[in-house]
Amino acid sequence: MQYFLEHLATCVSAISGVLAARGKSVDLFGVVVLALVTSLGGGTVRDTILDLRPVFWVADSIYVVTATLCAMVTFFVARYWTGLTPLADWALQLADAASLALFTLVGTEKAMGAGVPPLVGMAMGVITGTAGGMIRDTLLGEIPMVFRRQIYLYATASLAGAGVFVALNGLVDSNLLRFLVLLTVFGLRLAAIWWKIHLPAFEPSVNIHQG
Amino acid sequence: MQYFLEHLATCVSAISGVLAARGKSVDLFGVVVLALVTSLGGGTVRDTILDLRPVFWVADSIYVVTATLCAMVTFFVARYWTGLTPLADWALQLADAASLALFTLVGTEKAMGAGVPPLVGMAMGVITGTAGGMIRDTLLGEIPMVFRRQIYLYATASLAGAGVFVALNGLVDSNLLRFLVLLTVFGLRLAAIWWKIHLPAFEPSVNIHQG
Amino acid sequence: MQYFLEHLATCVSAISGVLAARGKSVDLFGVVVLALVTSLGGGTVRDTILDLRPVFWVADSIYVVTATLCAMVTFFVARYWTGLTPLADWALQLADAASLALFTLVGTEKAMGAGVPPLVGMAMGVITGTAGGMIRDTLLGEIPMVFRRQIYLYATASLAGAGVFVALNGLVDSNLLRFLVLLTVFGLRLAAIWWKIHLPAFEPSVNIHQG
């Protein structure tokens, strides 16, 4: 089950890497690199900083295969089938929230298992969940999505989930704990999209003008 | 004393991370991430390349706390108190030069203590002093401040200080050495701001037009 | 011979780092940093992810010297001698293709020697060949050259060469293998420039308008 979920998250984040390149003059190879960076980047930063060796995709290169295949299929579908429906957009939002939840859980659990302080464990959960997308956006010359107030609690949902893990770790059954973390991230993210909840941002005048 | 100075440098560079996000549509979480990247980024790159484990803020997560608190206070002050005076700007320049000096000293000393060649020690001093700001500016979609000729010897002051450490290491008392390094970076940076000293840049025509 | 070729590749990629900064307001120090990042970045990422210690330029700082000297000479030549001829541009293209080929070979060979799976070995060849330029372009606020369809099989040539290494490794003489890898990357890159071969890109409408 966890194996299936991890590969689902890898695939979904690879898809998001491909879709971020729409409208840019990026070729097929660039698209695959962006997909790999998005889906493997967060875990690579985590394993490198914590010195967990070998880095997860060096130990098991099946992750590289999964991300590459999902990226190539998405590239050809998105290029030649331009009528992507709003239904597909909504499905992608759901799947993306699921991959954020899962990467956060995996990252926090792996870091706490390595015996780091709680605050570092939470940081690693957020890094695993968001750093891949951050590198993707930076390579495309944009301010990373996770920084922007229009995105509605993306990294904040990840931080909340990591906080739940750290707070309840060892106090409740580990499968219940995992479920609670996933529910926190996934639920908070979807609720924030639905009710357009966001954190305060700089530039209060912008808030006034926009409503 | 060194403990106090290190936390001062961490706090001041976190503040610079927050202030760099002014005028961008970045939310509170994004601001905290930018602050953490600015104040912990240089040392993280240094420890990762030199394989000094655990990375300093993984070993002692108090640095994460210091940077986060300084960033949040700055965010709310800068957002709601728009009348930041020129006096505050000048104080920030002073404090920023102090944090550049201190990070350069810490980075060079830690690298040389790990037994690397002098040239690598100098590179690590400059990386510790400047890489955090470089990542911050890149994430915000700007050419890093340290590259720009308008900035007046930012990284160059860091390099000079690292050079002083490497040249005099073992020849003079270690506290005198530390003082000389800090004085070199801090003095050179302030002198360059005061007299508008900069290195030659590409585009000589730009120089002609500007004076 | 390999020592000579490695330093040639280091020097040529440092030159490309300097030339990428033309037209930007970057000072001499920024230019040297860009040159160092371009020529040492790929190998640094490879050694860090594979945990090959010490990182190559920490172990032998002569690479830092080579890159710095080549960058400074190029900076002053390019700044004061504006009549760079088309001949020089063509020579640079040749030299750049040679450095891509060599870095790909070194990266793949070093990774396979560390016992990683073939797919990871290929990824490391491409990373060594292209990551330095990717970081350079990102720091300059541009979409990395290797992603753009206008560039004609840059990273793809590197991937093909790494594939040749992995496919024939152990089957043929190691010097013949090295020659075949270099020939694949170098030949494919030059052929792609000559016949303007590129991979499919997003935005089919752009293709229609341009040809």
Nearest to B79 among A141, A146, A204 (CB): A204
CA-nearest residue to A149 within chain B is: B27
pLDDT of the residue at A203: 64
Please answer yes or no on whether C120 and A64 come within 8 Å at the CB atom: yes
Nearest to A49 among B58, B79, B141 (CB): B58
DSSP string, chain C: -HHHHHHHHHHHHHHHHHHHTTTS-BBHHHHHHHHHHHHHHHHHHHHHHHT-SS-HHHH-THHHHHHHHHHHHHHHHHHH-----HHHHHHHHHHHHHHHHHHHHHHHHHHHHTT--HHHHHHHHHHHHHHHHHHHHHHTTS--GGGBGGG-SHHHHHHHHHHHHHHHTTTS-HHHHHHHHHHHHHHHHHHHHHHT----BS-HHHHHHH-
Give mean pLDDT, residues C156-163: 95
Distance in Å, alpha carbon of A184 to nearest chain C alpha carbon: 32
Report which secondary-structure segment, H or E, holds A17.
Answer: helix A2-20
pLDDT of the residue at A95: 80
Distance in Å, alpha carbon of A52 to nearest chain C alpha carbon: 10
pLDDT of the residue at A113: 94
Interface test with A, best of C104, C202, C205, C209 (most A CBs within 10 A): C202
Residues linked to residue A95 through DSSP beta bridges, in sequence order: none
Distance in Å, alpha carbon of B196 to nearest chain A alpha carbon: 31
The yes-or-no verdict on residue A44 having pLDDT over 50 is yes
pLDDT of the residue at C208: 37
pLDDT of the residue at B145: 83
The yes-or-no verdict on residue A211 having pLDDT over 60 is no
- Cα separation, B20 vs B26, in Å, equals 10
C190 CB contacts (<8 Å, ≥6 apart)? C93, C94, C97
pLDDT of the residue at B93: 80
Nearest by Cα to A29 from C202, C166, C20: C202
pLDDT of the residue at A4: 80
Tens of pLDDT, residues C15-73: 888 888 887 888 888 899 999 999 999 999 999 999 999 999 999 999 999 999 999 99
Give mean pLDDT, residues A67-73: 94
SS3 assignment, position A28: helix
Which range among A5-9, A144-148, B201-205, C102-106 shows the weakest confidence by mean pLDDT? Answer: B201-205
Residues of B in contact with C44 (CB under 8 A): 49
pLDDT of the residue at C210: 38
Q: Where are the domains of chain C?
A: 2-200
pLDDT of the residue at B19: 84
DSSP code for A151: G
**Which residues of B fall below an 8 Å CB-CB distance to C?**
48-51, 116-120, 123, 134, 138, 141-144, 146-150, 155-156, 159, 198-204, 206
Which range among A186-190, A196-200, B71-75, B153-157 shows the weakest confidence by mean pLDDT? Answer: A196-200
Please answer yes or no on whether A26 and C149 come within 8 Å at the CB atom: yes
Residues of B in contact with A141 (CB under 8 A): 141
Confidence of residue C179 (pLDDT cuts 50, 70, 90): very high
pLDDT of the residue at B102: 93
Confidence of residue A23 (pLDDT cuts 50, 70, 90): confident
Q: Give pLDDT < 50 ranges for chain B.
A: 205-211
pLDDT of the residue at C113: 94
pLDDT of the residue at C87: 62
Distance in Å, alpha carbon of C166 to nearest chain A alpha carbon: 15
Residues of B in contact with A147 (CB under 8 A): 21, 24, 26-27, 29-30, 33-34, 139
pLDDT of the residue at A82: 66
Please answer yes or no on whether C65 and B156 come within 8 Å at the CB atom: no
Question: What letters, b where the CB count within 10 A reaches 16 and e where it falls short, cover C21-38?
Answer: beebebbbbbbbbbbbbb
Residues of B in contact with C22 (CB under 8 A): 202-203
Nearest by Cα to B102 from B27, B22, B165: B165
Report the sign of the C-alpha dihedral through residues A47, A48, A52, A58, in that order: positive
Nearest to C201 among A27, A34, A61 (CB): A27
Distance in Å, alpha carbon of B81 to nearest chain A alpha carbon: 11
- Cα separation, A7 vs A12, in Å, equals 8
Please answer yes or no on whether B27 and A148 come within 8 Å at the CB atom: yes
Please answer yes or no on whether C143 and A141 come within 8 Å at the CB atom: yes
Q: Which chains touch B (3 or more CB pairs under 8 A)?
A: A, C
CA distances from A23 to A81, A87, A128, C145 (A): 14, 21, 27, 16
Q: Is B48 in contact with B134 (CB distance < 8 Å)?
A: no
Number of CB pairs < 8 Å for B and C? 91
The yes-or-no verdict on residue C5 having pLDDT over 70 is yes
Q: Is B125 in contact with B161 (CB distance < 8 Å)?
A: yes
Give mean pLDDT, residues C172-183: 95
pLDDT of the residue at C76: 87
**Which residues of C fall below an 8 Å CB-CB distance to B?**
21-31, 33-34, 36, 44, 48, 51, 53-55, 57-58, 61, 64-65, 75, 78-80, 138-141
Does this complex have an ipTM over 0.95? no
Report the sign of the C-alpha dihedral through residues A135, A137, A142, A146, in that order: negative
Top pLDDT among C87 and B55 is at B55
pLDDT of the residue at C151: 80
Top pLDDT among A85 and B110 is at B110
The yes-or-no verdict on residue A198 having pLDDT over 60 is yes
Distance in Å, alpha carbon of A189 to nearest chain B alpha carbon: 14
Cα-Cα-Cα-Cα torsion A128, C111, B54, A53, nearest 10 degrees, comes to 60
Nearest to A27 among C119, C134, C148 (CB): C148
CA-nearest residue to C143 within chain A is: A140
pLDDT of the residue at A83: 67
A117: number of Cβ within 10 Å: 18
Predicted TM-score (pTM) of the model is: 0.91
Please answer yes or no on whether A147 and B64 come within 8 Å at the CB atom: no
pLDDT of the residue at C84: 63
Nearest by Cα to B122 from B168, B65, B190, B76: B168
pLDDT of the residue at A210: 39
**Which residues of A fall below an 8 Å CB-CB distance to C?**
21-31, 33-34, 36, 44, 48, 51, 53-55, 57-58, 61, 64-65, 75, 78-80, 138-141
Give mean pLDDT, residues A96-118: 93
**Which residues of C fall below an 8 Å CB-CB distance to A?**
48-51, 116-120, 123, 134, 138, 141-144, 146-150, 155-156, 159, 198-204, 206
Tens of pLDDT, residues C115-153: 999 999 999 999 999 999 999 999 988 888 888 877 888
DSSP code for A115: T
pLDDT of the residue at B5: 77
Q: Is B37 in contact with B17 (CB distance < 8 Å)?
A: yes
B198 CB contacts (<8 Å, ≥6 apart)? B149, B150, B151, B152, B153, B192, C27
Number of CB pairs < 8 Å for A and B? 91
